[in-house]
Amino acid sequence: MMVDPTSERPLLGRQLTRVFGEGEMRTTALNEVSIELERGQVALLMGPSGSGKSTLLAVLSGLLQPDSGQVMALGQDLWKMAEIQRERFRLKHCGFIFQGYNLFAALTARQQLEMVVRWGEGGSAKEARRRANEMLTLLGLGKKAHLRPSELSGGEKQRVAIGRALIKDPEFCFADEPTSALDWAHGEQVIELLRNAAHERNATVLIVAHDARIIPYVDRVYNLEDGCLHENEEEGRAEEPHDHTGRNGNASAPLPQHTLRRFLQ
């Protein structure tokens, strides 16, 4: 099976249905949902709790099998692959960010990133260290590479988690409630980083969140309610540049966007 990295719509979900439970407990999380995500764009998936947002993210990212429907990722049917192939696909093309940071308490910020290079790609210790240092510098954590999670703030921890997701330079980046544990200043930084990943790295970014303050930062907004998906075309701000200094308002924690852009060029 060949991947098609040039596809403009690298991630397509068609008629996706996923049901949980049986009998009276039966819940339809996804009801024939179809979605197309574009390269270089950030898509935001919103909806009330239990609306199936995370389920859709899991199905699209190869973590949770749908009951029916198809996910085409880079031209491949994700759910027709063998599990080992899907695992390799995720290894090569997918980055994930979750709500709770989920960093190893014993390891430094650098080691959290190195681990992905060494264990995932079989990279040498030297190579892993170099890439981890570069990524942490881009994320504004160059001087904190030696610190463990307990010595980092919530925002810094989430930036390390973003670094862990992006160090592979993935085609897709899936973020499930990446800002819900952060105050808005730090949450905004996180969203900016994900936006940069899409716009500068040409990655396809899907964010699941219910914080409406994210809306101005993304290219497309989808609403999922009772298992049905609607695109909210007025709210997406595709290609429109942002005034970071104005909105960020946090001079002590500057966004590393300029460094990221330099690296990406």
Partner 1 sequence: MSYSLATLWYERSRYLPGVLAVAFSSLLIALQCGLLLGLFSITSLPIDHTHADIWMGAPKVLSVDLGESIRESISARLENQPEVTRTEMFLQGFSYWAKPAGGRELCMIIGSNLGDNALGRVDALDPDLRSKLSEPGAVVIDDSDVGRLGMKGVGDTAEIAGPKGPRTVRVVGLTHGLKSLAGPYVFCSHGTAREHLTMLEGQTTYVLGKCRNPADAETVVKRLKEQYPDQSTFTSAEFSYRSRMHWLTKTKAGIALGYAAALGLLVGAVVTYQTLSAAVKGSLREYAVLRALGIPRWRMALAVMAQSFWVGVIGVGLSFPAVYALAFVAASMGLDVILPWQLLVMATGVTLTMALLSGLLALRTLRQVEPAMLLR
Contact positions toward partner 1, by CB under 8 A?
54-55, 57-58, 61, 63-64, 87-92, 94-96, 98-100, 102-107, 111, 115-116, 119-120, 148, 161, 164-165, 168, 176-177
Q: Can you tell me which residue has the tokens 């930084």?
A: 189
* Closest separation in Å from C-beta 243 to partner 1: 31
* Closest separation in Å from C-beta 125 to partner 1: 10
* Comparison of 29 and 72: residue with beta carbon closer to partner 1: 29
* Comparison of 140 and 170: residue with beta carbon closer to partner 1: 170
Whether the CB-CB separation of 172 and 204 falls below 8 Å is answered with: yes
* Closest separation in Å from C-beta 25 to partner 1: 18
Whether the CB-CB separation of 199 and 40 falls below 8 Å is answered with: yes
Report the distance separating Cα 100 and Cα 50, nearest Å.
18
* Comparison of 120 and 216: residue with beta carbon closer to partner 1: 120
Q: What crossing angle do the helices spanning 184-201 and 257-264 adopt, rounded to 10°?
A: 20
* Comparison of 168 and 195: residue with beta carbon closer to partner 1: 168
* Comparison of 25 and 105: residue with beta carbon closer to partner 1: 105
* Closest separation in Å from C-beta 228 to partner 1: 19
* Closest separation in Å from C-beta 250 to partner 1: 27
Structure-token pair, residue 117: 């290079």
- 230 contact partners, CB below 8 Å, separation of at least 6: 222, 223, 224
* Comparison of 117 and 255: residue with beta carbon closer to partner 1: 117
Report the distance separating Cα 85 and Cα 120, nearest Å.
14
- 64 contact partners, CB below 8 Å, separation of at least 6: 18, 55, 58
Please, how many CA atoms are within 13 Å of residue 248, restricted to the half-sphere of its CB?
19
* Closest separation in Å from C-beta 161 to partner 1: 8
